Structure 1
């Protein structure tokens, strides 16, 4: 579910190292990107 992959510290969900911080940060980034895409589709 992440752009960086489950084994990456940045990816999150399946990672031991950085699992909490990295996963949460990646999730926020993904949601922010989706919000921009959805917003752009509404206002374009």
Structure 2
């Protein structure tokens, strides 16, 4: 429980394995949606 887990990036308990890549993916997806929406708004 006290050790830093690199394998399972669970509920923010110091896991840098899958948690970091998943967070990066979500942030990238949100950024893509925001950029796409603003681009569509500027286009029309």
TM-score bracket for this pair, using the shorter chain length: 0.5 to 0.7
Number of aligned residues: 31
Unmatched runs of 5 consecutive residues or more in structure 1: 1-7, 10-14
State which structure, 1 or 2, has the greater radius of gyration over its C-alpha atoms.
2
Q: Compute the TM-score of the two structures, normalised by the length of structure 1.
A: 0.60
The structural deviation recorded for 1:37 is 0.0
- Structure 1 runs of 4+ aligned residues shifted over 4 Å read none
Structure scoring higher RCO (CA < 8 A, sep ≥ 6) equals 1
Instruction: Give unpaired runs (5+ residues) of structure 2.
Output: 1-10
RMSD, aligned α-carbons: 1.7
